[in-house]
């Protein structure tokens, strides 16, 4: 069994030193308790509600920053760590990224492909497939938050051979019926069940510049059941999961989640889409981020 810990901590916007201290405490605490995989929230090093791209840039780091060596040291050599941070790319762009570390430091970086709302005014979307890393406890794939809402991403990682999807998140609060889970958790549960793969979603807590968060941290097993949650600020969700069990995609003796796929039919979907021609679709054109940001600034509505 593999022990997974997800720390629902509250980063302080703009205070990288304080956020690093919180991250190190979370990592060392879980490592001492025997966690195999430790997750931290999206953008845990910086906070999320940036007032401008310039503010995010001032907080961004590169993957070779000493910060991540400190994470690896705090893990004590036995634990893997996944956590989010604002990345300053070698191309000069800013990315909403997540790092996967082992005892030797960073072994993979993932840049969020699907940017949520005003993230588009701050970050450049990633253009690479998510990493799937073979580790001593199993094969780990990494996504970030909104990526989970795109079935192509979760199914793609599962088809790529991952045993677990590790997903740092910052889920803005969503209204819902009494006793219901956040819709984002429902989406993750569906993805886990349809591809029979565990998903660990590490959300954040606190209120930041008026934004309340779902506090929806959830560890979901390969059947789509939530097996652990965090209930409040600085709480931790802990679960032990047999990651290798997710390699068996059998649903019933006659049903297999992957064996029953019909790729030859799916390929015909391209023809179906082409046949619609100029059929009107409610899809907005790509946003000119710089122009849109300037318009929002002028209107006083930026973040």
CA dihedral 268, 271, 272, 273 (to 10 degrees): 120
pLDDT(1) > 70: yes
Mean pLDDT of 15-39: 97
> Using CA atoms, how far apart are residues 21 and 23, in angstroms rounded to an integer?
5
Q: Per-residue pLDDT tens for 161-198?
A: 999 999 999 999 988 888 889 999 999 999 999 999 99
Q: What is the pLDDT of residue 262?
A: 94
DSSP characters over 64-82: TSHHHHHHHHHTTTT-EEE
> Using CA atoms, how far apart are residues 34 and 30, in angstroms rounded to an integer?
6
- Give the model's confidence band at 303: pLDDT under 50 very low, under 70 low, under 90 confident, else very high: very low
- Give the model's confidence band at 17: pLDDT under 50 very low, under 70 low, under 90 confident, else very high: very high
CB 227 within 8 A of CB 190: no
Let me know if domain 2-250 sits in CATH 3.60.110.10.
yes
User: Of 210 and 268, which is predicted with more confidence?
Assistant: 210
Task: Give a three-class secondary structure readout of 143-154.
Answer: CCHHHHHCHHHH
Q: What is the pLDDT of residue 261?
A: 95
Task: Kindly list the domain boundaries of the chain, sorted by start residue.
Answer: 2-250
For residue 22, what are the CA distances in angstroms to 71, 187, 300? 11, 29, 33
Least confident residue range of 94-103, 218-227, 275-284: 275-284
Catalytic residues: 42, 112, 145
Q: Per-residue pLDDT tens for 33-56?
A: 999 999 999 999 999 999 999 999
Q: Per-residue pLDDT tens for 117-162?
A: 999 999 999 999 999 999 999 999 999 999 999 999 999 999 999 9
pTM of the model: 0.90
Name every residue whose Cβ is closer than 8 Å to that of residue 39 and which is 6 or more positions away in sequence: 4, 5, 6, 7, 81, 82, 83, 166, 168, 200, 202
Q: How many helices (H) and strands (E) does the chain have?
A: 8, 16
Mean pLDDT of 223-233: 95
DSSP 176: -
pLDDT(279) > 90: no
Query: For residue 229, which of 189, 269, 285 has the smallest C-alpha distance?
Result: 189
Percentage of the chain modeled with pLDDT above 70: 90
């Amino acid at each position: 069994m593999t022990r997974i810990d997800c720390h629902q901590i509250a980063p302080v916007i703009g205070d990288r030193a304080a956020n690093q201290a919180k991250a190190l405490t979370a990592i060392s605490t879980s490592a001492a308790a025997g966690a195999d995989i430790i997750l931290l929230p999206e953008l845990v090093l910086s906070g999320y509600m940036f007032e401008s791209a310039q503010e995010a840039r001032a907080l961004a780091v590169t993957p070779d920053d000493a910060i991540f060596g400190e994470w690896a040291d705090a893990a004590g050599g036995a634990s893997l760590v996944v956590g989010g941070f604002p990345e300053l790319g070698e191309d000069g762009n800013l990315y909403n990224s997540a790092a996967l570390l082992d005892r030797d430091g960073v072994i993979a970086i993932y840049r969020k492909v699907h940017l949520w709302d005003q993230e588009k005014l701050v970050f450049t979307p990633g253009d690479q497939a998510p990493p799937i890393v073979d580790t001593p406890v199993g094969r780990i794939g990494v996504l970030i938050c909104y990526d989970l809402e795109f079935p192509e991403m979760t199914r793609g990682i599962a088809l790529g051979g991952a045993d677990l999807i590790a997903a740092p998140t910052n889920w803005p609060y969503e209204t819902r019926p009494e006793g219901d889970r956040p819709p984002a958790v429902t989406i993750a549960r569906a993805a886990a069940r349809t591809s029979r793969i565990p998903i660990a979603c590490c959300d954040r807590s606190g209120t930041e510049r008026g934004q309340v968060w779902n506090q929806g941290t959830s560890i979901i097993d390969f059947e789509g059941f939530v097996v652990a949650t965090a209930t409040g600020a600085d709480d931790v969700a802990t679960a032990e999961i047999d990651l290798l069990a997710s390699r068996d995609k059998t649903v019933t003796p006659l049903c297999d989640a992957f064996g029953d796929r019909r790729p030859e039919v799916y390929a015909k979907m391209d023809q179906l889409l082409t046949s619609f021609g100029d059929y009107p679709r409610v899809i907005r054109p790509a946003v000119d981020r710089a122009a849109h940001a300037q318009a929002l600034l002028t209107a006083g509505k930026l973040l």
